[in-house]
A = this chain, B = another copy of it.
Amino acid sequence: MTPLPDDLRLDRRRKAIIAAARELFVEQGYERATLADIVTRAGGSLATVYKLFGNKDQLLEAVVFESAASGEALIREAAAAGLAPVPTLHRIAKGLHEHFLDPDVIALVRIVIARSISDPQFARQFFERTANPTREALEDVFARWQANGVAMDGTPGFLAEMFMGLFVSDLQTQAISHGVGISPLPDRLQERTNFFIAAAGINRLAESPA
């Protein structure tokens, strides 16, 4: 029963609904966005939404968790490029900035925080899928550097936390408070990276670790 073509059709419906739902949640917030509007934008029928997702709450969960991405890949790629620590850090900083300050990501964070008032678990799960893997990837990079003789003041865990604070938490907070798109600070980013490098006591001339 339910041969493959049906699944494909359903899957197409599912993607269209999630895309429309994300747009409307982002524009108006969860409470104000209506299922009727979502269906209008996605095409199809309200009944299909209920068949696929059960109810509005579960639709939000699907939207958020299918959209949640971490900076893990980006960090591992930057570290694998074989550059010295200082330019690697600059590259990671730029990548994290581009990823976590993307207007869509900021919008998602807003929605998750709004929902965290009535559902604390929700926010925790979201950050566990986004911030945690990012921090762990950083930790790995720092640990490998230290193992290869690069001097750094502090444990990899602590330094990863500081890096996330400076390049994710703080910049996201600024984006939320001052409006998205007001922060494409190119040299400001380098200034921050240098701040981190100084605090971590990294030798600016350290070469690419084996």
- A residues near B, CB below 8 A? 26, 28-29, 31-32, 107, 110-111, 113-114, 116-118, 120, 123-124, 126-127, 131, 153-154, 158, 161-162, 164-166, 168-170, 172-174, 176-179, 191-192, 195-196, 198-201
User: Considering the chains assembled together, what is the distance between the CA atoms of A177 and B125 in angstroms?
Assistant: 8
Which residues of chain B are near A28, meaning CB under 8 Å?
Answer: 117-118
- Say whether A173 contacts B176, CB under 8 Å: no
In the assembled complex, which residues on chain B have CB atoms less than 8 Å from the CB atom of A161? Answer: 170
Q: How far is the CA of A195 from the CA of B159 in the complex (A)?
A: 9
Q: A31-B32, A165-B165, A166-B166 are in contact. List 12 more A-B contacts (CB 8 A).
A: A26-B117, A29-B117, A29-B118, A32-B118, A116-B177, A124-B178, A126-B177, A162-B166, A166-B170, A170-B170, A172-B173, A198-B201
Overall SS of chain A's interface: helix
A176 adjacent to B31 (CB under 8 Å):
no
Cβ of A114: which chain B residues have Cβ within 8 Å of it?
Answer: 29, 110, 113-114, 117
How many Å lie between the Cα of A131 and that of B178 in the bound state? 11
A53 to chain B, nearest CB (A): 21
Residues of B within 8 A of A120 (CB): 179
In the bound complex, do residue A165 and residue B170 qualify as a contact, i.e. CB atoms below 8 Å apart? yes
In angstroms, Cα B65 to Cα A160, docked, is 35
- Show 18 A/B contacts (Cβ-Cβ < 8 Å), sorted by A: A28-B118, A29-B114, A29-B118, A107-B117, A111-B117, A116-B176, A123-B177, A124-B178, A165-B170, A166-B166, A166-B170, A169-B170, A169-B173, A196-B199, A198-B198, A198-B200, A198-B201, A199-B199
Chain B's nearest CB lies how many Å from the CB of A101? Answer: 13
**Contact call A113/B154, Cβ cutoff below 8 A:** no
